[in-house]
Amino acid sequence: DENGCTSNLASGTIVVDDVIPAPVISCQAVTPNQIDFYWDPIPGAAGYTVNILTPGLIGTLNGTTYTVSGINPGASVTIEVGAIPNSLCTTSYAQASCISQPCPTVNVDIVPIAPICEGEEELIPLDVTIAPFNNGIINWSGNGVSPDGYLDPTDLPSGQQQVSVLYEEGACSYNAFASYDILPMPEIMDSIQQPIFYGAGKVTLDVQGNDPFSFQWNDGNTTQNREDLPGGIYCVTVTDNNGCNAENCYIIGTGIYRISPVHILCKGDAKRLSIRPSRGADFSWSPASGLSCSDCPSPLAFPNETTRYTLTATLPSGQTDSIHVFVLVIPPPFCPNAREIEELEIAFERMEGTDMQDLDKLISNKMEPNHELKLYPNPTDGKVVLQSNEIIERVEILDLTGRVLQEIIANQKQIEFSLADYPTGLYLVSVSTEKGIKKKWLMRGE
């Protein structure tokens, strides 16, 4: 209508498209960490757009299926799916939520660990039962435990300890824990008394722990405490009522002080009775006669006759010990030619620190293997036994002057005689056999 005039009529066709429906979403929890969302194809849809409304997840679209992975077991996931029309109409959206599968029930149990003794050094394999087992991954942890399940208890203190195992099967993990005991080893407290002179060491043990205890020494002894020990190394294993053990070793010396047990001098001469070291203890000599001092470590000796002295040493701790020292006095006529006596003196000097019971072995003449003589005890307080592997024809007992004191006709391989009626001193035993004459020294003690 323009200026009152009517225009000509025009006509056309308008097409109105229907809005496509939103997808109807279904879902399936495939595994504990995967969900598949799916829907039927929408007529008129050119494609689909999917948004995961649950943060931290990703998915993949394949046709009308959308797969979400990396989900925690039993977790809820929400997505939004839009159907994109092939017209100018707006996209139609729909939402759906789904819960992933929970972890299946798996029983994980650690096989009990028996009590372990403290200080045990052997590796202990750990074991676990898993049911059902679907080839998952097993990892162990705990003090002294390796990931592959070996327990090294070497450095673990006594007390209760714990191990744990982690079993992982896909996204699912299972834990188990177990406690076990480290049993304390026996605690050994000891006191060692070293010999002052020769071979009288002492070890006293005080053991704390789970009694009763048993004791096993390396020399076969099974007592708790040891006395009168000669020099050497002594190791003891102490086992408690649990079977746990501890071991200690002790070194017993051959004596703190050294002095020759026999001194030989000519009558009228003097000789120093030297003890080494000369400090660290109080010393006393008995009897005092024939000595320059009786409360000193190394007096001069000038007795008129053979004398047995007793030397006593007392340590600051109160420990005390005594030893006999023989001074053999030779009459002057025999001294200038006493070469044999001089050699004997050297032999005595070499025997410092040995048991006096070894005197015979150290000072006796060397015997051929087929003509061995045994003379014991030596020193003796009277009775003496003489043995030979040859027939003994005659035996003479001589003093240091060469005077024959006894003569014994034997004709046998073993005889007995006595020095009980003779004074303390050194005697020569001359033994005649078909092999010849052999001599051995014999000391008469008290």
- Show the domain range for 427: 363-444
Rounded-to-integer distance, Cα 210 and Cα 239, Å = 9
The helix, strand and coil proportions of the chain, stated in percent and rounded to the nearest 5, come to: 5, 50, 45
Q: For residue 210, what pLDDT is reported?
A: 93
Is residue 19 a part of any domain in this protein? no
Domain containing 170 — which CATH number? 2.60.40.10
The verdict on 345 and 377 lying in the same domain is: no
Q: What is the DSSP string of 362-420?
A: HHSPP--TTS-EEEESSSBSSEEEEEEEEEEEEEEEE-TT--EEEEEEEEEEEEEEE-T
Residues 6+ apart with CB under 8 A from 369: none
In a domain, 371, yes or no: yes
What is the per-residue pLDDT for 139?
97
Residue 208 lies in a domain: yes
* pLDDT averaged over 10-residue windows placed end to end, the chain, 446 residues: 68 75 95 95 93 94 95 95 90 95 94 95 95 91 96 95 94 94 95 83 94 96 93 94 95 87 85 91 95 95 91 92 87 60 58 44 40 80 89 88 85 91 84 87 78
Q: Identify the sign of the CA torsion 219, 221, 225, 226.
A: negative
Are 286 and 337 within one domain? yes
CATH assignment at residue 223 = 2.60.40
pLDDT given at position 230: 86
286: in domain: yes
In 3-state terms, what secondary structure has residue 116? strand
The verdict on residue 389 lying in a domain is yes
Lookup: tokens for 140: 């162990």
Residues 6+ apart with CB under 8 A from 100: 29, 31, 32, 33, 34, 35, 71, 72, 73, 74, 75, 77
* Full DSSP string of 320-355: EEEEEEEEEEEPGGGSTT-HHHHHHHHHHHHTTTS-
Look at the block and give the residue holding tokens 């046709």: 63
- d(C-alpha 183, C-alpha 158), whole Å: 5
Is residue 73 situated within a structural domain?
Answer: yes
Does any domain span residue 15? no
Domain closes at, from 51, 81, 99? 99
What Cα–Cα distance (Å) separates residue 354 from each residue in 200, 231, 259, 280? Answer: 11, 9, 10, 21
Nearest CA to 337 out of 275, 401, 286, 407 is that of 401
Q: Are residues 266 and 316 in the same domain?
A: yes
Where residue 440 sits, what CATH number does that domain have?
2.60.40.3080
State whether 271 and 331 are in the same domain.
yes
Tell me which DSSP letter residue 134 carries. Answer: -
Listed residues 350, 377, 401: the one ending a domain: 350
Q: How many domains does the chain have?
A: 5
Its pTM stands at: 0.56
Q: How far is CA 90 from CA 24, 30, 65, in A?
A: 17, 33, 22
Which of 298, 325, 350 is where one domain is finished? Answer: 350
On whether both 215 and 164 belong to a single domain, the answer is no
Please check whether residues 90 and 117 belong to one and the same domain.
no
Do residue 341 and residue 380 come from a single domain?
Answer: no
The whole-angstrom separation of Cα 108 and Cα 193 is 57
Edge-to-edge strands, sheet with 307-314: 262-266, 320-330, 307-314, 282-286
Q: For residues 219 and 203, what is the distance between their CA atoms, to the nearest angstrom?
A: 14
Within 170-297, strands assigned E span 172-183, 187-193, 201-208, 214-217, 226-229, 232-239, 245-252, 262-266, 271-272, 282-286
DSSP 360: H
Considering the domain architecture, whether residues 178 and 193 belong to the same structural domain is answered as: no
Whether 356 maps to a domain, the answer reads no
